[in-house]
Amino acid sequence: MTNESQLNRAATLNPDGSVIKADEIRKIYGDIAAVDGISFTVEPGETYGLLGPNGAGKTTTMRMLSGLSPTNSGAITVSGIDVVKDNRAVREVMGVVTQHDGLDNGLTVFQNLFLHGFLAGLSRKDSKNRAHEVLEFFGLRDRSKSNVYELSGGMKRRLAIARSMMTSPKVIVMDEPSTGLDPQSRNRVWEELAVLKDAGVTVLLSTHYMEEATILCDRLSIMDHGKILDEGTPDQMIERHAPKEVTQLRVSPVSIRTVRAYLTEHNITFREVGALISVTGANGDRPDLSGLKDLEGVRTSYRAGNLEDVFLAITGRELRDG
Ligand SMILES: Nc1ncnc2c1ncn2[C@@H]1O[C@H](COP(=O)(O)OP(=O)(O)OP(=O)(O)O)[C@@H](O)[C@H]1O
Ligand SMILES: [Mg+2]
């Protein structure tokens, strides 16, 4: 895979023109509806994000879509394949990156790739060639003889993504591709995902990172308790649910009580996370904080509303690292 064009073959479409279609899918574990009748489509070449707090049902959804876990009810179509009826066929067209890498620690980087391709039906020769291409593309060539246990967490994650590319899938499902990575490795993963996107690959990913969703996703949905609470482009979601502007006060311990008292007294609603207090003015106006301006240890800044605010508004919870 020395250039993008080798990836560039469009996925087979569903009858309605989508690539992934989930229709009222449901998964019950005991008393819990882990996924409670959700519907969405992912269009050709789109990167679609599933956002939600821990336990929202993201992994369960992705496992059903990739044929790894049966549904209790509902219909799933991927590239024209009825996944509920034929969960094996979908694995031939779809690349999957699971939440836990599932790499074989006892094998080298190259062997992991080769074996995956071979088991997926490539000939020995094709799998070997493809493994070399994928290593080159993901900048892992100099680690090809390393054992997987010798790799850093970031390299393992990238190898897991690389492995999903062995069969040149046109559809990839990735469960938290960049969770646990340092910012540099995360950027690397984002660059790699951007190349896949440019090549027309259709991607469904889950993430806890607002920035990741903003950068990568054409559309996204926010899930909680097995349901989709809202769906749209990042801009639409921000427009719908986030304030235009958020005032942020970084407050040192000497002043924190005074600041809290001032905000309460002036009926200004605020949210406190660590040393940071976020304040949203009514009707998009900046709140009147003039009474705090001479206070020691208070730094004020302003930022635009973002997906983090959307998430909080919709789920009542902060986005957090999973
Ligand atoms: N194999 C299982 N058996 C029983 N309950 C399960 C199983 N897998 C998931 N669940 C439950 O289903 C719900 C959804 O879990 P899921 O793993 O899909 O969430 P998630 O959105 O991926 O969360 P996270 O962000 O932590 O990865 C949770 O309540 C979880 O405890
Ligand atoms: Mg999960």
Nearest to 48 by CA among 212, 242, 224: 212
Q: Which of 182, 206, 239 is the last residue of a domain?
A: 239
Please give the pLDDT value at position 9: 58
Instruction: Specify the pLDDT at position 152.
Output: 84
- Looking at all shown ligands, the one closest to residue 33's CA atom is 1
The DSSP code sequence of 48-63 is EEEE--TTSSHHHHHH
Quick one: 217 and 260 in the same domain? no
For the chain, helix (H) and strand (E) counts, in that order, are 10, 14
Query: What separation in Å is there between the alpha carbon of 227 and the centre of ligand 1?
Result: 13
The closest of 289, 133, 318, 106 to 208, measured between CA atoms, is 318
Q: Does position 55 have pLDDT exceeding 90, yes or no?
A: yes
> What is the 181 CA–ligand 1 centroid distance (Å)?
22
Per-residue tokens: 296: 């020691």
Whether residue 158 is found in the same domain as residue 78: yes
Query: Is the pLDDT assigned to residue 3 strictly greater than 60?
Result: no
Do the domain assignments include residue 176?
yes
Same domain flag for 177 and 255: no
Q: Which of 207, 239, 271 is the last residue of a domain?
A: 239
With a 6 Å cutoff on the Cβ, whether 57 touches ligand 1 is yes
> Which letter, b or e, does each residue of 176-200 get, where b requires 16 or more Cβ atoms within 10 Å of its Cβ?
bbbbebeeebbebbbebbebbbebe
- Give pLDDT tens digits for 190-214: 888 888 888 899 999 999 888 899 9
DSSP for 153-212, written as a single string: HHHHHHHHHHHHTTT--SEEEEESTTTT--HHHHHHHHHHHHHHHHTT-EEEEEES-HHH
- Give 70-98 pLDDT, tens digit per residue: 999 999 999 999 999 998 899 888 999 98
Q: What is the mean pLDDT of the chain?
A: 89
Determine what percent of the chain is predicted with pLDDT higher than 70: 95
- Within its chain, how far is the Cα of 228 from the centroid? 15
> What's the CATH code of the domain at 289?
3.30.70
Residues 17 and 158 in one domain: yes
What does the pLDDT average to over 255-272?
A: 91
pTM (predicted TM-score): 0.88
Three-state DSSP class for residue 249: strand
Q: Quick check: is 120 in a domain? A: yes
Lowest-pLDDT range, 169-178, 276-285, 292-301?
Answer: 276-285
Ligand 1 midpoint to CA 60 (Å): 6
For ligand 1, atom 11, name the residue with the nearest CA. Answer: 34
The residue-averaged pLDDT of 290-295 equals: 86
Residues 137 and 235 in one domain: yes
Residue 14 phi, psi (nearest 5): -75, 165
> d(Cα 192, Cα 74) in Å, to the nearest integer?
33
Ligand nearest to the CA of 98: 2
Q: Which atom of ligand 1 is nearest to the CA of 60?
A: 18
Domain hosting residue 287, numbered range: 243-304
Best residue for ligand 1 mutational test, from 59, 97, 224, 225 (most atoms within 8 Å of Cβ): 59
Q: What is the pLDDT, as a whole number, of residue 185?
A: 79
Please tell me the distance between residue 16's alpha carbon and the centre of ligand 1 in angstroms. Answer: 30
User: What is the model's pLDDT at position 63?
Assistant: 95
Distance between CA 166 and CA 137 in Å, rounded? 11
Residue nearest to ligand 1 atom 6, measured at CA: 29
**How much distance in Å is there from the Cα of 158 to the middle of ligand 2?**
18
Check pocket membership of 221 for ligand 1, CB cut-off 6 A: no
